[in-house]
Amino acid sequence: MIFLISLFLTVRRLIIIFIITLFAISIARAQELNCKIQVLTAQIQVPDPTVFSALQKSIFDFMNARKWTGDNFQPQERIACSMVVSITKIDANNVYEATLTVQSSRPAFRSSYNATMLNYADNDFKFQYIQYQPLNYTDNAFTNNLSSMLAFYAYIMIGLDYDSFSSHGGDPYFQKAQSIVNTAQNAGEVQTQDEKGWKAFESTRDRYWIAENLMDNKFNALRLVYYKYHRLGLDQMYDNADDGRANIMDCLTMLKSMNDDNPNSMMLQLFFNSKSKELVQIFAQGLPDEKTNATTILTALDPTNAQNYQTILKQ
């Protein structure tokens, strides 16, 4: 009798462990982001470093443990990304001022190469944080500025990734990012803490304009470029580098036409922040005419990196 009871308890324990394991696997597969987090404090005096360790862990859990889409991702499919929070000031009310640098990438097909999708520094990163406070977030509701900003960039990174695999595939996530902008604009915390980055009149290059440009038909060409550049360009380079490079050249022509109609847009800057070095590498391997055409277009579209583009002609 004792043996049967022991056997029953053992089997029951194994079943529970099995169920928990399956549940953990299903959660892991559901997550979309593989986000590395750093909180840097070199610019301030740090009385208690455990606060920043707690903040770093809270952001890590917020980005990586939350389910952002309705799709399930295999571990190797999760979007590689990073956030670096550089703290510049803390006041007596635990209000932090910082710069947030956000990066994300996606792999090129049949290659070890990871293409940068987003490389952006948000200098208006201001939030209140109390050690060990939970970071709660709900779509269509403003909880606090920290959660809203993290969620905003999560949806931007996911949207860009989806755009790179299917034409306008990122629409649902850019819509959510725009909804975060709308709810944050009228939030009490934003008003009382002089938060910036959510409103059109505060800047021509902030979170408001990222979301607005991504959903504006005037920049439809750029959305198509994200698809054609990656799916028909980079992903084709392994099998036929010439065809892949030709498709990327078509993308530059599309961007030139868009810029002629809407010069100096926020999204064009965002694109070249992530692609300038990559484009040099791509066209350095091209034919002489390709090198010349690419250098001319790139220099016109992205004069900040004009000197780097000139190296295409020298290789």
Q: Where are the beta strands (DSSP E) in the chain?
A: 33-40, 79-90, 95-107, 114-128
Report residue 315's pLDDT band, with 50, 70 and 90 as the boundaries: confident
25 pLDDT more than 70: no
d(CA 71, CA 213): 25
6 pLDDT more than 60: no
Helix or strand or coil: residue 38? strand
130 pLDDT more than 70: yes
Calculate mean pLDDT across residues 65-86: 95
d(CA 212, CA 217): 10
d(CA 299, CA 171): 30
Calculate mean pLDDT across residues 22-35: 62
pLDDT of 194: 65
Bridge partners for 89 per DSSP:
97
d(CA 286, CA 272): 19
4 pLDDT more than 90: no
In the chain the first and final C-alpha atoms are separated, in Å, by 82
Calculate mean pLDDT across residues 86-96: 92
Residue 115's φ and ψ, nearest 5 degrees, are -85, 130
pLDDT of 149: 96
Q: Tokens 């990066």 sit at which residue?
A: 103
Residue 36's φ and ψ, nearest 5 degrees, are -85, 140
DSSP string for 209-227? HHHHHHH-GGGHHHHHHHH
Whether the Cβ atoms of residue 247 and residue 228 lie closer than 8 Å to each other: yes
The CA-atom distances, in angstroms, between 190 and each of 125, 141, 197, 224 are 11, 13, 10, 34
Bridge partners for 13 per DSSP:
none
pLDDT per position as a tens digit, 228-281: 999 999 999 999 999 999 999 999 999 999 999 999 898 999 999 999 999 999
pLDDT of 133: 87
Calculate mean pLDDT across residues 54-76: 95
**Nearest alpha-carbon partner for 177 in 202, 149, 201, 136:** 149
pLDDT of 282: 97
pLDDT of 28: 44
Q: Number of H helices and number of E strands within the chain?
A: 11, 4
Query: What average pLDDT is seen over the chain?
Result: 89
pLDDT of 274: 97
> What is the percent of the chain where pLDDT is above 70?
88
